[in-house]
Amino acid sequence: MNTLLNIRHLFVENTDIFQNGGKTIKGLRYENNDNISVSESSSEMYGGKRNKPSQSDILHQEAVDYLKNDLNLSPLEARAYKALAYRYIKEKYPDSTGLERSKIMLSTVKSENFLDEFKEKLDSTIKILESLDSKKEELSK
């Protein structure tokens, strides 16, 4: 195993990016052969928290904030409506990127008849979110 780490060390010792068959993959940076450390920028690719939210994350949060603050919905209802809008956009535009879908989702959330269009699916989505929240809470204990 240590030999494998030494070989990988040769490829990524001075950079955070590792080229593999034309694809760019975030890599690990090893500070020395014995102690393996994950660089701060690559930790996000290996289950760590990102230091900076993506543009898509910002748009999702903006949609939830709009629903909570401007339309006076509860946080759970805001999340449910946002989830419904994103699911709808994802089905309607399957070939678009996540960022494109997020932009369309935000404009959909801010449209005039948004709440009326998705109201019938709200209860089932709230139940799903409550179930997911309870599972996350159990796992965090």
Q: What is the tens place of the pLDDT at every residue in 41-69?
A: 444 444 556 678 999 999 999 999 999 99
User: What is the reported pTM?
Assistant: 0.63
The predicted model gives 84-106 an average pLDDT of 95
74: which residues sit within 8 A by CB, 6+ positions away? 68
Residues 111, 82 within the same domain: yes
Between the ranges 12-26, 33-47, 59-73, where is the mean pLDDT highest? 59-73
The predicted model gives 111-120 an average pLDDT of 93
Q: Would you state the structure tokens that stand for residue 115, as one six-digit string?
A: 């709440």
- Classify residue 43 by burial, with Cβ atoms within 10 Å: 0-12, 13-18, 19+: middle
Which residues form the domain of 23?
A: 2-46
Neighbours of 10 (CB within 10 A): 8
Residues 82, 109 within the same domain: yes
Overall domain count for the chain: 2
| 5 band by pLDDT with thresholds 50, 70 and 90 | very low
Residues 132, 106 within the same domain: yes
Q: Would you state the structure tokens that stand for residue 108, as one six-digit string?
A: 């959909």
Residues 134, 92 within the same domain: yes
Q: What's the confidence (pLDDT) of residue 141? A: 79
